Amino acid sequence: MKASCWWIALSAVVLLPEMSFAGIFGKKAPVPQWGLDAYKTKTPDYAHDANAVILYDEYVETIDAQGRTVEREREAIRILKPQGRGNTCAVGHDEDEKINYFRAWTIGADEKQYQAQDTDFVDVGDTDIPIMLSTYKVKVAHPPAIDVGAVVICESEEVMQPYIQEKDWQVQQGIPVVFEALEIDLPPGKAHFEAWHGAGSAKAVEVSPNHWRWEMRDVHPLDLRDIPSHPEWSALAMRMSVQWGDAAVDGKDNEWKAIGAWVTKLESGRPEPTPEIATRVQTLIAGAPDFYTKLSRITGSIQNEIRYFIVLRGIGGLQAHYAGDIYRNRYGDCKDKTTLLISMLQVAGIRAYYMPVDSRRGVVDPDDPSLLGNHMITAIEIPADVQDTRLQAVVKARDGKRYLIFDPTNERTPAGDLPAYEQGGYGLLAAGDASQVMQLPILTPDASGAERVGEFKLTADGLLTGSVETTRMGDEGGDVRQTLKQEDQKELHDGLERSLGQDIPGVSLIGFKYDEPKDLDKPVKLHYELSAQQYARQAGPLLLVRPRVVGSDVLPSDNKTRTVPIDLEATGHWHDSYDIALPEGYAVDEMPDPVNLEMDFASYHSSVTSKGKTLHYERDYKVKEVELPSGRAQDFRKLESTILTDEKSTVVLKRQ
């Protein structure tokens, strides 16, 4: 379960009652000259297979002496295929922003010109999120005559949120961009600093005193289709961040420190404990024998008693509610849960800090200081005298202090652990002058995984029956807990049977039972029974049997040149042990050789043995990293090939 709460308001979209925007669409007007010029741009050869192409996209940010921004955007998009009709223009807005104007035109394939009217502009939002209430909306233009060959031309101007003093310029898109530009017009004496993420960059040109412009041409789209095991799109796409507020300081470490100090100031006073919070904490930690017990009781109360619900209004997309209100209302989003946790830990004498992150590993880039992110978690300071192996998700700051990284929004991950999707990413320790960007820990393989034990019986006609007990630990156990929370018995049955069907065609699930302990640090167990007709294949006097009955760990692969990193998803340790009772009148004739592969990022070992009338399969698989560079593609394919060969290997039984 990937948790995210849109702690940056610009990431959230919700449909709410219509606001009045009188006059922002303007009266009838011809297509502006810049739009006519963009229309004349030829579609480049590299874009012919795309659904649409951005011919022109220009942002101009005009900043006043107080740091508030007026943003103007001009964009022209050519529709190349019917599937490209959804590419149009949009302006996000909240209660702290104001759209000065938003106009759109279409130059049709027949070269006729059309202008969008008031009814062609609609507010849209993400209605799939029932646990969110927000004042943020996106106004989308749907001008007429958007057919293949048409060019959509849009222009807008908006007064931006006063508390945001950075621009995150998304340079790379999902469709090609012929030309794009960004301008930052600053007051005299006001500094700015830029940072790039992803391949490529552009040099700033000072077009007038303290007025800077960046231009990019022929930016190819980032297309991750048919690329197996790829990182998140947003982690790879090229972008640039420009700072002109307190974070406009020289040096990336100084920029991160300034952003962290801003977050610290923004949330100042929010975690102040109330008498009710203090009483609750004292009750929770009474008799706790050690730091871990004290900590886990508090984190467990946040996970179990505070319902996850997002309320975003203006700066509320960034600033948490007060701890007392969160505790009294019994709900909150990620930054609220972190606030209440910091408050409760403070009562217990434990220091903790806000840590903005992104639930998509790789989006937060240490080389690109920015507020960009969608989630808030907690960094808990570990006292110097505490040494506890249960505290696994630990990082060390520059001053030597140790912090336990904990996500209070994830209700299925115990204290000491960290969800797999956050491991190896980066977060900002917001601790005033001690603020710094930190890499989140990557847990050892033994922190998560599964153990499967199966006992089966095979008959001479190929029928396989048996039972399996699977024990899932750590993050894998957390995923199962989430599934158990969301699905009923029929859904669980059907999902399990479908999963088994990928390994055993024609399988029937006879029965199953989950054992979910109350304590989050205890493993979740699943016991099930199955049967499968014709599991063993007849070949004259021979029976061909696949000893690896259930479980598949091979991801789709290819031999194409790899240009993006390889996402291994999670570290883990998986062990299988299966016994198959052989049918009467048959003995083992041939067995596959043992498999032994040791690599720096993974290991895989398996063996098949025979003793009396029993066939035994043993397998041990470990993944030690969460991501590999693209240059390791051949090693990754070797691992996949080894696993696939082992999963398909067969034992030959011969009739005696």
Strand bridging mode 572-581 / 449-458 = parallel
Strand bridging mode 572-581 / 402-406 = unpaired
DSSP three-state, residue 125: coil
- What is the distance between the alpha carbons of residues 246 and 435, in angstroms, rounded to a whole number? 14
Selection from 319, 379, 332 nearest residue 355 by Cα: 379
98: left (phi over 0), alpha (psi -120 to 50) or beta: beta
* pTM beyond 0.75, yes or no: yes
Q: Would you state the structure tokens that stand for residue 7, as one six-digit string?
A: 């702690």
DSSP three-state, residue 283: helix
Selection from 357, 362, 367, 441 nearest residue 397 by Cα: 441
Torsion sign, CA atoms 541, 547, 550, 556: negative
Contact 560, 502 (CB under 8 A): no
Residues of the chain within CATH 2.60.120.1130 domain(s) are 446-655
Selection from 569, 568, 577, 571 nearest residue 620 by Cα: 577
Predicted confidence (pLDDT) per residue in 584-641, tens digit: 999 999 999 999 999 999 999 999 999 999 999 999 999 999 999 999 999 999 999 9
Contact 577, 618 (CB under 8 A): yes
CA angle 37, 196, 432 (to 5 degrees): 130
Selection from 355, 347, 305 nearest residue 330 by Cα: 305
CA angle 633, 638, 644 (to 5 degrees): 125
Adjacent-strand bridge partners of 141: 121
Q: Which residue has the tokens 């570290």?
A: 571
Say what the pLDDT of residue 5 is.
67
Torsion sign, CA atoms 504, 506, 510, 514: positive
Torsion sign, CA atoms 547, 552, 557, 562: negative
- What is the distance between the alpha carbons of residues 234 and 464, in angstroms, rounded to a whole number? 46
- What is the distance between the alpha carbons of residues 186 and 609, in angstroms, rounded to a whole number? 74
What interhelical angle do 334-347 and 291-305 show, nearest 10?
A: 140
Torsion, Cα 304 307 312 315, to 10 degrees, reads -40
Residues of the chain within CATH 2.60.40.3140 domain(s) are 26-245
Say what the pLDDT of residue 558 is.
72
**Region 446-655: CATH code:** 2.60.120.1130
- What is the distance between the alpha carbons of residues 283 and 279, in angstroms, rounded to a whole number? 6
> Phi/psi at 398 (nearest 5 deg)?
-60, -30
Strand bridging mode 52-63 / 132-134 = unpaired
Say what the pLDDT of residue 95 is.
87
Regions in the chain scoring below 50 on pLDDT: 1, 6, 8-22
Percent of the chain topping pLDDT 90? 86
Residues of the chain within CATH 3.10.620.30 domain(s) are 255-441
**Cα Rg of the chain (Å, integer):** 29
Say what the pLDDT of residue 26 is.
60
Q: Would you state the structure tokens that stand for residue 531, as one six-digit string?
A: 């049967």
Torsion sign, CA atoms 634, 637, 638, 639: positive
Contact 288, 361 (CB under 8 A): no
How many other C-beta atoms are found inside a 10 Å radius of the C-beta of residue 377? 27
How many other C-beta atoms are found inside a 10 Å radius of the C-beta of residue 389? 7
**Region 255-441: CATH code:** 3.10.620.30
What is the strand order of the sheet 402-406 is part of? 352-357, 375-382, 402-406, 394-396
Helix spans in 462-592 (H): 474-486, 489-503
- Cα–Cα distances in angstroms (integers) from residue 551 to residues 447, 504, 545, 624, in the given order: 20, 10, 15, 20
- What is the distance between the alpha carbons of residues 404 and 298, in angstroms, rounded to a whole number? 14
Say what the pLDDT of residue 11 is.
37
Predicted confidence (pLDDT) per residue in 315-371, tens digit: 888 999 999 999 999 999 999 999 999 999 999 999 999 999 999 999 999 999 999
**Region 26-245: CATH code:** 2.60.40.3140
CA max distance for the chain: 94
Contact 378, 355 (CB under 8 A): yes
342-366 b/e (C-beta count within 10 Å ≥ 16 → b): bbbbbbbebebbbbbbbbbbbbbbe
DSSP structure string for 160-178: PPTT--EEEEE---SS-EE
DSSP three-state, residue 111: coil
> Phi/psi at 331 (nearest 5 deg)?
-155, 160
Q: Would you state the structure tokens that stand for residue 606, as one six-digit string?
A: 């398996």
Contact 336, 318 (CB under 8 A): no
Contact 391, 380 (CB under 8 A): no
Contact 172, 219 (CB under 8 A): yes
